[in-house]
Amino acid sequence: MSYPYQIKTAEEYKEAYKKSVENPDAFWNDIAETFQWHKKWDRTLEWNFIEPDIKWFVNGKLNITENCIDRHLKELGEKPAIIWEPNNPEERVRIVTYNRLHKRVCQFAQVLKNNGVKKGDRVCIYMGMVPELAYAVLGCARIGAIHSVIFGGFSAQSIADRLLDAQAEYIVTCDGAYRGEKVIPLKDVIDDALIGNKTVKRVIVYTRTRTPVSMIKGRDVWWEDEMAHAEDQVEKGGAVSFPAVEMDAEDTLFILYTSGSTGKPKGVVHTCGGYMVYTNYSFVNTFQYQPGQVFFCTADIGWITGHSYIVYGPLSAGATSVMFEGVPTWPNAGRLWEIVDKYKVDILYTAPTAIRSLMGFGLEPLQGKDLSSLKVLGSVGEPINEEAWHWFDEHIGKGKCPIVDTWWQTETGGILISNLAGVTPGIPSFATLPLPGVQPVLIDENGKEVEGNPAAGNLCIKAPWPSILRTTYGDHERCRQTYFSAYPGLYFTGDGALRDEKGNYRITGRVDDVLNVSGHRIGTAEVENAINMHSGVVESAVVGYPHAIKGQGIYAYVVFNGDKHNDTGDRQNILQTVSRIIGPIAKPDKIQFVKGLPKTRSGKIMRRILRKIAEGETQNFGDISTLLDPGVVEEIAEGKV
């Protein structure tokens, strides 16, 4: 497969960028025309950022799975689409060719149809990192159902909230999932989430861990039984087929929930046409993917990185995508390097958190691992610090592999700012330049654009790209308020950034009340709400602080009822409460019990002060005379944990 839109030189980058700004319709038309469409679009783009109302490839008809699978069958049918590396290195590896992927996706689409799923229905997927998760995602897309994947670390309460918001009627899950030494009882968590649920009609359960589960008659069915029945329906005379449902370019492909600053998760909506074009385009260009290369993204499909760069981006490009069930440090800290060696991985895409964690084990886990196949390294989830960048460069890339430091979000659908591997220069700790088609601007505190270089401000984008979110599910006003109201006419990313003399961008972190913990966005309000559910807690305030491994840690200040608390016991109970309500990923790293919180006379908590204390500052808090009780600040600073 060739990619006529692949940028190969710095000069080509400049030309492509110029064209993308001056004539975006022609720029994106050229790229979109390389895909399979049932009907070509009437207009490339209609948009305004005030409503917001954004439409790409208007009235174009397609099915994304035909572009990810069917169009490759003739030339790539027997090539690996997915290489699945199980949690336990002793277990059998599974290599899923494009032909096998086609068969399994058709089968699962038939399973969905047999169970009453129709175009537009919402299907919640809560599974471990097994190939069946990819079959489920693509099976939904083939039938026109809207998938909503929920990361396997979320709690029953978090799932219940998402099921309610999406009004999902169908669930696909596993009996359990392996994650390092742990077995996570996924079906039990789903059962807890469904207590009181009135909308879910069917739960399809895949057997992975052989964890005993309770199957509710009339609601729960086994994946294996359903697939065996569907196999006869889709396979006739040796040929496999399940006609892909024709979708409008602007039909919803999936909902993916992300944390907001209010505490209520918001369902980011991505659509079929624009998302397909952009994930493919950004994958091929950022990583400079060449046909036949093996691409390994270490993310979970429960996050946007897994959607865009394990499933849709690589498969639409006819790539081979490695899918890893386990964790980088089990059974030892050499696991990722073993996988690179075993499959001769060409491109490795991982998170700074993983890199920092592996750095802590020293160089011994690298002994005897052949990493010479690597050609490109990538970083995702948060800005990569210089120390980790240099370690990655020196010890993993051996100084020969460009590192792409990619900046993007759940809401952007794909990579927006990054160097292109070996084409445009990489700079440690800088995301560098926007991809062609992306127009970033920096905005000052007065809402004015900061011109010239160098510069600093809030990072906004002034024109749409094809994979921009279209809405937040069931609540368009929330989408407008969150992303388009702060600076009318612009998309506000929620991040601050610096721009150097040459126009390279460095992301400086969130400027709203959202934390970035190991690349996962967690709303401070969400964690506070969970802490406050503990019977002994009067109120709490949560802030982020620098964390050596995670990038940002969670620091919680807790006011306890009557100031009677058992440090160890109550701390443990609070952690369990947060785990139960949100999931283990949101557990605070530090909990400090305090008598009161620094508040203004109107009752607003001064998080600025709490952030400084969490970061180790003990004196320079600025003017605190306007606080309701200025004395509380010194008390909190003295009691820092």
Give the model confidence (pLDDT) of 562-596 as tens digits: 666 777 788 999 999 999 888 888 999 999 999 88
Please state the length of the chain: 641
Residue 631 lies in a domain: yes
For residues 60 and 93, what is the distance between their CA atoms, to the nearest angstrom?
Answer: 39
Is the pLDDT reported for residue 89 higher than 70? yes
Compute and round to an integer the Cα radius of gyration of the chain: 24
In angstroms, rounded to a whole number, what is the distance separating the alpha carbons of residues 324 and 334? Answer: 14
Any domain includes 586: yes
602 has pLDDT over 70: no
The pLDDT tens digits for 418-464 are 999 999 999 999 999 999 999 999 999 889 999 999 999 999 999 99
**Cis peptide bond prior to 584, omega within 30° of 0:** no
Q: Does residue 527 fall inside a structural domain?
A: yes
Instruction: State how far the Cα of 324 lies from the Cα of 83, in Å rounded to an integer.
Output: 8
User: Domains in the chain: how many in total?
Assistant: 1
Report residue 295 as tokens.
Answer: 């691409």
| Phi and psi at residue 478, to the nearest 5° | -65, -40
Say which DSSP state 563 is in.
G
CA-to-CA distance for 91 and 324, rounded, in angstroms?
12
99: in domain: no
* Other Cβ atoms within 10 Å of 88 Cβ, number: 13
CATH number at residue 621: 3.30.300.30
Could you tell me if residue 470 is inside a domain? no
Q: Residue 563: give the domain boundaries.
A: 514-638
**Mean pLDDT along residues 511-537:** 83
For residue 186 the two structure tokens come to: 């996924």
Q: Is the alpha carbon torsion for 7, 9, 15, 21 positive or negative?
A: positive
Computed over every residue of the chain, the mean pLDDT equals 93
- Res. 307: pLDDT tops 60: yes
- The per-residue pLDDT for 416 is 98
Burial 550-585 (b: 16+ CB within 10 A, else e): bbbbbbbbbbbeeeebeeeebbebbbebbbbbbbeb
Tell me: pLDDT of 147 over 90: yes
Q: Could you tell me which of 390, 388, 374, 179 has the C-alpha nearest to residue 293?
A: 374
Report the range of poorest mean pLDDT among 413-427, 507-521, 528-542: 507-521
C-alpha neighbours within 13 Å on the C-beta side of residue 331: 5
Task: Answer whether 317's CB lies under 8 Å from 284's CB.
Answer: yes
pLDDT (tens digit per residue) in 100-118: 999 999 999 999 999 999 9
Q: What is the pTM of this model?
A: 0.89
In a domain, 401, yes or no: no
- Of 13-27, 124-138, 253-267, minimum mean pLDDT range: 253-267
Residue 261 has pLDDT above 60, yes or no: no
d(CA 130, CA 125): 12
Cα–Cα separations (whole angstroms), residue 638 to 30, 184, 465, 570: 62, 40, 49, 21
Read off the pLDDT of residues 604-623 as tens digits, 9 standing for 90 and up. 688 888 988 999 887 777 76
pLDDT reported for residue 607: 81
* pLDDT value for 384: 87
Of 40-54, 169-183, 490-504, 566-580, the least confident = 566-580
User: pLDDT-based confidence at 260, cuts 50/70/90?
Assistant: low
Q: What tens digit of pLDDT does each residue of 149-200 get? A: 999 888 899 999 999 999 999 999 999 999 999 999 999 999 999 999 999 9
Distance, CA of 119 to CA of 379 (rounded, Å): 36
Cα distances (Å, whole numbers) of residue 578 to 374, 529, 571? 40, 9, 11
608, part of any domain: yes
Please, are residues 407 and 418 in contact by the beta-carbon 8 Å criterion?
yes
Residue-wise DSSP of 587-610: --SEEEEES---BBTT--B-HHHH
Residue 565 resides in a domain: yes
